[in-house]
Each structure stands twice: as structure tokens, then as C-alpha cells.
Structure 1
Amino acid sequence: MGFTADICDDYSDVVKVADPLFKRYGQKTHFSGPAATVRVFEDNVLVKKALQEISEGSVLVVDGGGSSRCALMGDNLAEIAVERKLAGVIVYGCIRDSDEIANMDVGIFALGTNPIKSVKKGIGDANIPVVFASVKWQPGEWVYADNDGILLSPDKLDV
């Protein structure tokens, strides 16, 4: 039985299901935790800052506007997530260094890869509701993710 499939069976009246747009990177096959959000566009300064500051066990949700023109995260930022024991990262955009990330104890969902790095202007917003993949991601909501999908719940579920 699957992690998110079981959650959907038990909590279908509670969870929201994100559109299946994402590919999984890293060694973690599933993760869950409270969401911390950032909204950026082709600029990863706030992504790095959030990775350095959010609470251990959190899921960083990055609304990158769905851009595929550059990467918002690579192996250096993924290493921060590993060192800080974050639950995982969801990127509505691209990552890079996917071969290195494949060998890291991290769970990342992203739209795809792009070798081009982002700009570094520090423009964006943090800790705000963001909307992508047909769901609204609220800071503090619980995220559950595995190869079958990504779910959101207003509260932590008994799973």
C-alpha cells in the first residue's frame, strides 16, 4: 500500500490533491511536514534563505511560477535541506545537479531540470499562501508526498 494512497482512502474528505505535474529527485521516496512557502520568479535568494531558516521537519514549498528557464535549486541548496533535516522540498519550477541530488538523503519534487542557475536579486515573498498545481498552499498546512502524488491537509493527519 502507498503512503498517499492510504491517506486518500482514509481522509478523502479532508485532503486536497495537487495536479500530478512533478518528478521526484533525491533518495527519500516519501515525506511529510508542515509547509513553509516562498514565491519567487527565476531568483533563488529567498529559497536559500528559507532553507536556512525554516523549522526542522518542514516542507519548503517554492512557487517558482512554473518557469523552466532556470533552476531554483541545485545540490548546494539540497545539502542545506539535508543538513537542517527538512522533510522535503516542492518546487513549482526546475532544479539542477540532479545526478548529485539523486545520491542525497533528501526528497524534492520539481517540474524538471535545467542547468542554468537563477538570478540573485532577492525578489519575492515568503510565508504567504501560493497557488499552483490546482491547489492553494497555506503556510502551516501539512504536506504529504510520494511517487503517487502530493496531498495537502489543513492539519496533521493520524497516519
Structure 2
Amino acid sequence: MVTNPPRAERELVDALAAYGVATIHEAQGRTGLLGSHLNPIQTGTRIAGSAVTVTVAPGDNTTIGVAVEQCSDGDVLVVTPTAPCDMGYFGDLLATSLQARGVRGLVIDAGVRDVADLREMGFPVWSRCVSAEGTGKGTVGDVNVPIAIAGRVVAPGDAIVADDDGVVVVPRLRLAEVLAAATAREEKEALSRARYAAGEIALDVNDMRPLLERAGVRYVEYSQWHREQQA
């Protein structure tokens, strides 16, 4: 159980929360996106926070309860079992405890339950699945060490951003760089959005016509194409 790990700078994390997962993923070179099997149990919610990382034994949620003590305001709990398990590791009681400490949400590569209660509480969760099957207690894992989850490595203190599109991790030491890139990307997309709204299409907004020319694409009237096919 590692205590007092470095945390992502709060001001940068909160600024990053203004941008969606897709924008951040693109802004940091299309990296950091956790596997698409992690889905939100709610809609219309976006969170960003500093990761508290947890490993749990298959079918045992003891370490989640232990990890609560290491959580503080602005954190996101990130949990993975040491072997695949879809049981319901997390429900409304643990959520109540985390919410009281200011934790912003949970990302877990396993199951959760009490979903209706979690939604009513407004405690955001991204999980592998929903399962009413509860876990046991007695086997412990690790807290606040680097973990492998959903195809990515998350270190304690990395920034986690999650919304309807999924979950992305931003390394703590790259926060300022990625925030600047996300801001620039958002400004560029705002200009493109205005052009689309004015009636332009992607071929021109994204300057794709030279690409088509290099690829040898040719435009043919249907009647001519039809004659060519009959020849």
C-alpha cells in the first residue's frame, strides 16, 4: 500500500476536463485510450481526476475498501483484477464512501452492481460489465503502483479523463503538453465546424482533393460508366 504518491496538478486536470476523450486521445498522438470494453453506466457525464491505482484478486474486493483510505478530493479510482473476472466488485456502499472523500469516479476492468443506485447518487462509473454477483474478502492486492488495465499502463497520479466515448489516460508529466495540444486541436475544430455549418464538405475543409488525385480517383458520369461496363 503506497501512500502519498504524486498527484496530477489539479489546475491542469480541471482544465483538461473541458475537452472530450476523443480530443485528448488525438491531441496526445492517438495514445492513452483504454480498451473499448470499458463503458459508462451513465450518459452525459465527463470527469477528470488524478489516478489512484488498485489491483484486486479475482473474486475479492478487499483492496478497494483498503484503497478508500488513500483517496482524496479530485481523485479517480482505477481498478483492475490480477486475472480476468466479471463479478460485481463495486456497489453503492463503496461509492458512498468514495463520494464522501471527494472522489470523482471509478474506472474498473471488472463488474459493478447497484447500478440504479449509483446513477441516482450521481457517482460516475466506467466498467467492463454489470454483474449482481458479489465478491468475497480476504485476499489483498496493491494500491498506488503502476497497473496494466485495458491495454494501457496507468501510474498513480496520472490524469484520467472519461466520458461517453470511453476512458483515456494522460501521463502526469505530460499534462501541460497535452492540454496545450488539446486546446489547439479544439480551436482548429471550431474553425472547421464553422465551415461545415456554412455548407462546405470534408473534401475541401480537410484539403482531400489532392489526396484523391494522387490515388488516381476519377469522376465519371453514370451514363459513361454504364457504357464502359457494357463494353
> TM over 0.5: same fold?
yes
Instruction: Give the aligned partner of residue 192 of structure 2.
Output: none
- 1:37/1:130 contact within 8 Å kept: yes
- 1:26/1:104 contact within 8 Å kept: no
Instruction: Tell whether 2:38 aligns with 1:22.
Output: yes
TM-score by length of 1: 0.88
Instruction: Give the aligned partner of residue 98 of structure 1.
Output: 115
For residues 25-57 of structure 1, the C-alpha deviation after alignment (integer angstroms, 9 at most, x for no partner) is 257711111111110122112102212331211
Instruction: Give the aligned partner of residue 145 of structure 2.
Output: 128
Aligned-partner Cα distance in 2 for 1:36–1:97: 22
Matching residue's letter, 1:49 = V
Instruction: Give the aligned partner of residue 84 of structure 1.
Output: 101
Structure with the larger helix share: 2
TM-score by length of 2: 0.62
By relative contact order (CA 8 Å, sep 6+), the higher-ranking structure is 1
TM-aligned CA deviation for residue 124 of structure 1: 1.0
Runs of 5+ unmatched residues, structure 2: 1-17, 184-231
Percent identity, aligned pairs only, is 25
Cα 1:61–1:89 shift into 2, 3 Å: same
Corresponding pairs, count: 157
* Structure with max Cα Rg: 2
SS in 2 for 1:38: strand
Cα 1:17–1:27 shift into 2, 3 Å: closer
Instruction: Tell whether 2:48 aligns with 1:32.
Output: yes
Runs of 5+ unmatched residues, structure 1: none
Aligned-partner Cα distance in 1 for 2:43–2:30: 28
Aligned-partner Cα distance in 1 for 2:92–2:108: 14
TM-aligned CA deviation for residue 82 of structure 1: 1.7
For residues 69-93 of structure 1, the C-alpha deviation after alignment (integer angstroms, 9 at most, x for no partner) is x211011111112221112111111
Runs of 4+ in 1 over 4 A off after TM superposition: none
